[in-house]
Amino acid sequence: MRTAGILMHISSLPSPYGIGTLGKECYEFIDFLKKAGQTYWQILPIGPTGFGDSPYQTYSAFAGNPLLIDIPTLIAEGLVEANDMDATLLNQKKFFDYAHLFHFKKLLLDKAYSVFVKKGDTARFAAFDDFCEKNAFWLDDYAVYMTIKEHQNLSMWTMWEDDLRLHDEDAVKQFAYENGEEISSWKFMQFKFFEQYARVKKYANKKGIRIFGDMPIYVSMDSADIWAHPEMFMLDGDRRPTKVAGCPPDAFAAGGQLWGNPLYDWDYMEKDDYSWWVQRLRYSSQLFDLTRIDHFRGFESFYAIPADRKDAVIGEWIKGPGMALFAKIKNELGNIPLVAEDLGFLDDDVRRMLASTGYPGMKVMEFGFGGDDSEHLPHNIPKKSVCYIGTHDNQTAVGWYLSAEPATKKRIRRYLGLGKLASAEKVCDALIRAAYMSPADTCIIQMQDVLQLGDEARMNVPSTIGNGNWCWRMKHDQLDAGLAKKLKKLCKIYFR
């Protein structure tokens, strides 16, 4: 079946509270997708954001982001009051300061937990206890981690006192005994996040919209996963990374990309029968209808950079688990719906692994206009793939066209059948049509491109911090019936 969808993170939804949330704007966007004939809503990772506010650097591979919890829903439940709102957050038209949001929402959610306890609702307590029990495999470590982190002025675990830094069992138990209510409050935040998320997903599925999630291949150094399970990673005897993740230099980054994430100890994971990965993908398949695995080529071989480097120029390729991991996943979980982010440097070994898994890959049209008969050009995109104009890491279509060299602009216009005087917005429209027209089973268009926005709306510039990364938000008045009608017409014409 040919399908279409829109890429926009939950944080980019309009709201009066400085960040998009799992509230009414979520449901309104799903209604829009339904009217527009779409099948998928693709979102970015939903974990609690850490360093650089990136959803790809989170405090847990399993937790949800408390910043996305909807406040009006808590008010309706009687857990907080309208006058608890921070006036500086109200009616912010642009994305607000992440640090301010974090501290404000933490205070608000702590109050919500306190009221929850005082209410003494037996049925709700049972639901909370059930959530905690079912998710204990990650929730217990995460809640303790975040409580210690708060006591340590939010510093990374590598800076804690040795007994807690090294996860001494007696020290951690003693801390948990002394700070039980704070730990329970962190668990309550996750309970509310996933309760709200489950309602959104149920509503989406009822409307025929599937949630297309995103799973980063690596976890952040500042995470409960590495603190609680250091044996799974390439760390030295003092639990410091020996090598870190990234990408070698290429045409887009002369110094390469230094991500800094610790690398997996795949020998250990093989001996453990890849149990953590099976658990992670089982969990993801319950949250999402379709999951994109970021940096898929890293499972065949990964670029390892010495941990003391300031860039990614020096590094080495090391073999990953390859098909052994995916054979185990299929044996344990069956054919769960996955998409492989197979962009960047690919060799024959990676291509063979992708073919063996049977997962669709990705094609990005912005990569296709260098002058050769590229696999990213719409006419070459294979049926079993997901077609994009650009992803969250790319320029918007309008911004990309406007910044292109004259010769590239000419190639783009000629390919799309446009004249010399075609505007960037006209080019954007033609690119969307070409994506819909492509042989790809699925095409996903960024919301910024649907709205024909320039690079002021770009979501992320890879390997940079700041620059407005992760901050774009849609305005209420940008979502209208005309856009829905336009997209639905394309779905009908190209049988999506």
pLDDT averaged per 10 residues, the chain (length 496): 97 90 97 98 96 92 97 95 70 66 90 94 95 98 98 96 96 97 98 98 98 96 97 94 90 82 96 97 98 96 93 93 97 97 90 96 97 96 97 97 97 96 97 98 98 96 83 91 96 98
The pLDDT assigned to 110 comes to 95
The pLDDT assigned to 82 comes to 83
Smallest CA-to-CA distance from 365 within 343, 347, 346, 350 is with 343
Question: Which positions are annotated as active-site residues?
Answer: 294, 341, 393
Q: Tell me how far CA of residue 327 lies from CA of 293, 340, 356, in angstroms.
A: 16, 15, 10
DSSP SS3 for 419: coil
The pLDDT assigned to 468 comes to 86
**What residues contact residue 61 under an 8 Å CB cut-off, 6+ apart?**
47, 138, 216, 219, 223, 225, 280
Strands 338-340 and 40-42: unpaired
User: What is the radius of gyration, based on Cα positions, of the chain?
Assistant: 23
Tokens coding 281: 């993908």
Give strand pairing partners of 40.
5, 210
The pLDDT assigned to 264 comes to 97
Buried/exposed 342-381: b ≥16 CB within 10 Å, e otherwise: bbbebeeebeebbeebebbbbbbbbbbbeeeeeebbbeeb
Going along the chain from its start, the domains and CATH numbers come out as: 3-96+202-360+441-493 (3.20.20.80)
Tokens coding 58: 């989170």
Q: How many CB atoms lie within 10 A of CB 53?
A: 20
Helix (H), strand (E) at residue 211: strand 210-215
